Amino acid sequence: MPALLVDANSLLAVDVGTVTTRAAFFDVVEDHYRFIASGHAPSTAAAPFRDVSEGVRQAIENLQIVTGRKFLGEGHTLIMPTSEGIGVDTFVATFSAGPAIKTAVIGLLDDVSLESTQRLARSIYARVVETIGLNDARKPEEQIDSLVRLRPDLILIAGGTDGGATRSVQRLMETVGLACYLLPVDKRPALLFAGNQELADEVKESLQPLTSSLSISPNLRPGIDTEDLQPAQRALTELYTQVRRSQMKGVDELNSWAGNTLMPTASAEGRIIRFLSQVYDSSKGILGVDLGASAATIAAAFGGELTLDVYPQLGLGEGLVNLLRYTSLEDIQKWIPLEIPAEAVRDYLYQKSIYPASLPATPEDLSIEQAVARQSLYVALNSAAKDFPRKVRRAALGLTPYFEPILAAGSVVTRAPTLGQSLLILLDAIQPVGITTVILDQNNLLPALGAAASRNPILPIQVLESGAFLGLATVVAPYVNARFGTPVLRARLIYQNGHENRIEVKQGALEVMPLPTGQSGRLYLQPLHNANLGFGPDRTREDGIPVTGTALGLVIDARGRPLRFPADGVRRREIIKKWLWTLGG
């Protein structure tokens, strides 16, 4: 047995969300790491508790009931390491609760350092409240007034290539320094400098006394055509924890239990998605989506190159009140299979933003919630796609890149009343192209695995291979310009017992070929009318494609890319109902 399994046999992972706090337990079973069980409790980061530790202890206590194993000792302290069958060897924690961190972004050129700094801010749960650059027309005193009035929790500064501009960056530093000086000591922001490294010592000397915490990382743009976010993202993760420690009780204790490795949930998810992209088919990317109350998170990795974007304004909690700034009521309504007036949809957005833990009580509420989820995820993915590498493979400009697999989290998706509803939310929002596998993270394990990777790299690999995730469907989505009703694909599925299933799919159709979990088969596809499955127009694999069983089997989505709806509302609603019926309701 590898030494790592001996040194850290068990692991407890806690994720503190806006609505729910989860505790997941992993242990060695027959010389392999396995997910054992999880415990849930309402999060207590918000009023009236404003103390995350209460929700953490409740989640762990519920896990104790499920497993029969004791993790908390006297005074509700964590028992670590394991002793005589109680306690745990390793503890990790991730965190997404709380309002978005107010962030000011400072840089030089709009399409160089400022653009990179904006991308850096999107890798955590941040809300950019101010942007200051070289082309800012305001006077320095107006910029200072704005920073003092807005009181950001965090300031990100970049600008100047290594060995490049210094005077312009120094002027921006003076603006930031004066603003920090004018703020009350207990309201001064944390600051990250990721610009010209020749100024690092000067930044430390001049700004460190004026900030709550200062971090200096390697340059985001070491060259005018070179961007490297990863070192700054690691530094930003640490600053994020420090900001949260000053905002909420219990974060210090949670970070101490985790050996000072507490990290944002999105960062942990991004870490595991990056790892998977180095393991799976290098010709495609890996996509992870998480639609929670605090934010919509998109993590896409291509050959180890990660794009991580977090959108608090698109989360399904208090951010919903601002959703209509990024989309329209009409775009939300188009996904609803019932006739519901726009005023009811608007009222739902406001109610849900006030009570994010509320559950849909009627079919109308459920339809609205799932429609909002579709549109939030659709907007988030299309925004994140602007940051994807230019070299990624797509069937056509503007379409979703080829991904394999797609992993989805967030209770609105993973806890939908039926698996067919879960899949249709994802198909409608992501609109994948080609052949891919859709996987549900029903137990919210991705953040735990990402956080555990640095402490025990064997555990994530073995848990991912253990079947702890639900294979929802293998999806075949041809890209083709054909008239509605035109045959665009013939499919032949040969099961492992030798039986065959044949189907001809027409443009606009959604079809299912059963292939239950635990079975396997070989899929032969014949594209028609220049349909593209990722091999090129009308091209296929002559030897067939090996496929394994999933909960919903093989789903062929020939509805077109991008999806288009009839103008007539009655016909549109009937089509959506038909799609739901095809996938099981």
| pLDDT tens track for 269-302 | 999 999 888 877 678 999 999 999 989 999 999 9
Whole-number pLDDT of residue 464: 85
pLDDT tens digits, one per residue of 189-206 = 999 999 889 898 999 999
What's the CA gap between 464 and 271, in Å, rounded? 14
- Residue 350, CA distances (Å) to 19, 191, 293, 358, 439 in order: 17, 34, 14, 12, 31
**Among candidate residues 551, 525, 527, the one with its CA nearest the CA of residue 538:** 527
Boundaries of every domain in the chain: 3-95, 101-247, 268-582
DSSP states of 262-292 as a string?
-EEHHHHHHHHHHHHHTTS-TTSEEEEEEE-
Q: What is the pLDDT of residues 118-174, one digit of tens each?
A: 999 999 999 999 999 888 889 999 999 999 999 999 999 998 888 877 888 889 999
Gyration radius from the chain CA atoms:
25
pLDDT interval class at 1 (50, 70, 90)? very low
Sign of the alpha-carbon dihedral angle for 17, 20, 26, 29: negative
What does the pLDDT read at residue 350? Answer: 92
Percentage of residues of the chain with pLDDT beyond 90: 71
Q: What is the C-alpha to C-alpha distance for residues 238 and 261, in angstroms, rounded to an integer?
A: 8
Mean pLDDT of 330-351: 93
- Residue in 44, 124, 14 with CA at minimum distance from that of residue 357: 44
- How distant is the alpha carbon of residue 246 from its chain centre? 25
**Interval 496-531: pLDDT, tens:** 999 999 999 999 999 999 999 989 999 999 999 999
The residue ranking higher by pLDDT, 279 or 58, is: 58
Q: Is 32 exposed, middle or buried (0-12, 13-18, 19+ CB in 10 A)?
A: middle
CA distance 473 to 269: 21
Q: Give the pLDDT band of residue 467 (cuts 50, 70, 90).
A: confident
| C-alpha to C-alpha distance for 276 and 485, rounded to whole angstroms | 38
The residue-averaged pLDDT of 222-234 equals 86
The pLDDT assigned to 281 comes to 65
362: number of Cβ within 10 Å: 9
Q: What class has domain 3-95?
A: alpha beta
Instruction: Give the CA diameter of the chain.
Output: 77
Provide the pLDDT confidence category of residue 8 given band limits of 50, 70 and 90. Answer: low
Residue 5 pLDDT exceeds 50: no
The pair phi, psi for residue 545, each rounded to 5°, is -120, 120
What are the tens digits of pLDDT across the range 537-565?
999 999 999 999 999 999 999 999 999 99
Which three-class secondary structure state does DSSP give residue 236?
A: helix
Residues 545, 525 contacting (CB under 8 angstroms): yes
Section 45-71 average pLDDT:
91
For residue 585, pLDDT over 80 is answered with no
C-alpha–C-alpha distance, residues 577 and 585, integer Å: 8
Predicted confidence band at 4 (pLDDT cuts at 50, 70, 90)?
Answer: very low
Residues 402-410 have a mean pLDDT of 95
Contact (CB, 8 A) for 124 and 264 = yes
Please, which pLDDT band fits residue 390 given cuts at 50, 70 and 90?
confident
Q: Is the peptide bond before 341 cis (omega within 30 degrees of 0)?
A: no
- 134: alpha, beta or left? (left if phi > 0; alpha if psi -120 to 50): alpha
pLDDT grade, residue 583 (50/70/90)? very high
C-alpha dist (Å) from residue 328 to 111, 372, 405, 541: 28, 11, 30, 42
Beta bridge partner(s), residue 548 = 520
**Average pLDDT, whole number, for the chain?**
91
CA distances to 87, 486, 578 from 480, rounded to whole Å, are 56, 10, 22
C-alpha–C-alpha distance, residues 432 and 426, integer Å: 9
CA distances (Å), 133 to each of 60, 108, 140, 236, 456, in order? 47, 5, 11, 20, 42
Cα–Cα distance measured from residue 288 to residue 260, given in angstroms and rounded to the nearest whole number: 26
Instruction: Specify the CATH number of the domain 101-247.
Output: 3.40.50.360
Report residue 14 as tokens: 């806690």
Judge whether residue 7 has pLDDT over 80.
no
Q: Phi and psi of 207, rounded to 5°?
A: -105, -25
Tell me, what's the pLDDT at 256?
92
pLDDT class for 2, splitting at 50, 70, 90?
very low
Average pLDDT over residues 233-252: 90
- Residue 376 CA to residue 564 CA, distance in Å, equals 18
- Per residue, what are the HEC states of 436-447? EEEEECCCCCHH
Q: Are β-strands 545-548 and 520-527 bridged in parallel, bridged antiparallel, or unpaired? A: antiparallel
Structure tokens at 581: 């019926």
Residue 203 region by backbone torsions, left for phi larger than 0, else alpha for psi between -120 and 50, else beta: alpha
**Cα distance between residue 465 and residue 4, in whole Å:** 18
